[in-house]
Structure 1
Amino acid sequence: MSEQAEYGGLPDKRQVAASFSRAAESYDAVAELQRSVGEQLLARLPASLQPQRWLDLGCGTGFFTRALAERYPSGEGVAVDIAEGMLRHARPQGGALHFIAGDAEALPLQGASVDLLFSSLALQWCGDFQRVLSEARRVLRPGGMMAFSSLCVGTLQELRDSWQAVDGFVHVNRFRRFEDYQQLCAGSEMQVLALQRRAETLHFADVRSLTRSLKDLGAHNLNPGRPGGLTGPARIRALIEAYETFRQPAGLPATYQVVYGVLGKPR
């Protein structure tokens, strides 16, 4: 059985690309979690690392492409994303020498061509993470490093549980288990330097603010088999009522289970 079949299937990548392309203009205004996670991932890179060539995989609007360029001014940067709309937004702001449309499962790069592969909150959309790791190992030079953040099961559990109470349908994107990340990284023929899971919680004034934020990010429900059509007022009221049971003093919580990984290609 394939990894994708085992945990229920991921969204069609064409839909993911189209959704994030549409969100390119609104993304940065609501990307609080994405910036925080990316900065934590940057902090996990060893100070001694000085890549001649680095790759920002799933570069999005280029926020971390520019951060990597600032951190490694003597290095040559390559930015890759599956969403053309994101690349159109990122390219004029610079940071990388090349901005390329590409898929993490089939990277448009030569073998042994980069010293650092950096990817923050993009790889959760890939159905075959084993293939992602294989491609990372292929494009890294000996001694090179892969640093990634992704999402695992338990992400947006409050929203998932609230919808479950309303209609039993899956309205929240599916993600692989943390144990799958552990197993696949261990079998990747790369050295696992660090791999951990950490909960990150955002708070929202109300359910509408949360769902609007997910839409502006392009990360709303993209599951195959998701309910079609508009959600009626009665179901929305029931969702709000169910979600209110999670309310905390800071607001309605939206918890993300974030995976941070740093892997090294043997010399």
Structure 2
Amino acid sequence: MTPVAIDSRLVRRHFDAHAEDYDRYALVQCRVVERLAATCAVPLRGGGAILDVGTGTGLLARRLHRLAPRRPLVVSDLAHGMTRHARTGLSASAAVDADAVALPFAGASFGLVASSSVYQWVEDLDLAFTEVARVLLPGGWFAFALFGENSLHELKDSYRRALRDCGSERRSHLQEFPGREQTLAALEAAAFEVHDVFVEEEVDCYGDVPQLLRALKKIGAGNASRQRPPGLASRRVMERMMDIYRRDYGAAEGIPASYEVIYGLARKPGRGRP
């Protein structure tokens, strides 16, 4: 798969700055954690240490620890603020700052690698999944959830139409995410045995577009593409975008924000299965 031009330093800065706010605004992400934890029922019956990649504030790690308290747990995140925050709620775990495309662990170290709402932010999904395969024990499990290409489609559509209506040739400020087929291709490139990849939709409702944009900012979900346009969108474009969003997607209870969530469960081939 062709790597996406993601600026990892910007990703780190976005999430590092919002570690304290994350749990109050990451409503969809909390639901995704619960759904992902449910898919880990079989992997959690095995052995070996567990690694949470991109732990954030530790929501998934705490859930997995409750389900399998005897298994050693390591939490890792690109943003030091997130790693530190997660560690405070998991005193018995190890915490390491780590980039998902260059995990600082020896090969064959973990029986389960889990990750929620992270891999849409990596530049090279093939490389990131290959790193997971490298650190897994033979027969180890990989369970993940990431946001897919149709996430925030209402916002993306409204913004692109606003650019067109205002005669602007600027690129969108909204980042593109991988799709299901790209995700499957990355798993296959890393030589995983794919057990399940499925897509579900999550929808949140907001009072208006500014409230949605504030919530996205509070969880660090800014555009981290190196190809993002410089500066801010013009006030005219933003006002037109909000008008389109309200008119075409709004309802009495507010505006919806839809998320495409891609869940995956895969296994590393080999004997000595955990």
TM-score range, shorter chain: over 0.9
Quote the Cα distance in structure 2 between the aligned partners of 1:225 and 1:190: 31
Aligned to 1:64: 60
Aligned to 1:186: 188
Aligned to 2:14: 19
Per-residue CA distance 1:206-256 (angstroms, 9 max, x = gap): 001100000000002233233333444433321210111111344211111
Shift of 1:92: 1.9
Moved more, 39-48 or 117-126: 39-48
Aligned residue for 1:148, secondary structure, equals strand
1:10-159 → structure 2 map (5 Å cutoff): 10-47=5-42, 49-94=45-90, 97-159=93-155
Shift of 1:104: 1.1
AA in 1 matched with 2:138: P
Shift of 1:13: 0.4
Of residues 256, 265, 269, the one that matches 1:262 is: 265
Shift of 1:96: 5.0
Shift of 1:108: 0.8
RMSD of equivalent CA atoms: 1.7
Of residues 253, 256, 260, the one that matches 1:253 is: 256
Structure 1: 5+ residue stretches without partners: none
Kept in 1, the 8 Å contact 2:105–2:135? The answer is yes
Aligned to 1:175: 177
Kept in 2, the 8 Å contact 1:77–1:95? The answer is no
AA in 1 matched with 2:265: V
Q: Are 1:214 and 2:209 an aligned pair?
A: no
Kept in 2, the 8 Å contact 1:171–1:226? The answer is yes
Shift of 1:21: 0.2
Aligned residue for 2:35, secondary structure, equals helix
AA in 2 matched with 1:195: V
Kept in 1, the 8 Å contact 2:110–2:137? The answer is yes
How many residues align? The count is: 262
Moved more, 29-38 or 167-176: 167-176
Moved more, 137-146 or 207-216: 137-146
Aligned residue for 2:145, secondary structure, equals strand
Moved more, 42-51 or 11-20: 42-51
Shift of 1:177: 2.4
Shift of 1:132: 1.4
AA in 1 matched with 2:129: L
TM-score, scaled relative to structure 1: 0.92
Shift of 1:166: 1.4
Kept in 2, the 8 Å contact 1:82–1:103? The answer is yes
Kept in 2, the 8 Å contact 1:51–1:115? The answer is yes
Kept in 2, the 8 Å contact 1:52–1:74? The answer is no
Kept in 2, the 8 Å contact 1:58–1:80? The answer is yes
Aligned to 2:2: 3
- The structure-2 alpha-carbon separation of the partners of 1:200 and 1:95, relative to structure 1 and needing over 3 Å to count, comes to farther
Structure 2: 5+ residue stretches without partners: 165-170
Kept in 1, the 8 Å contact 2:8–2:224? The answer is no
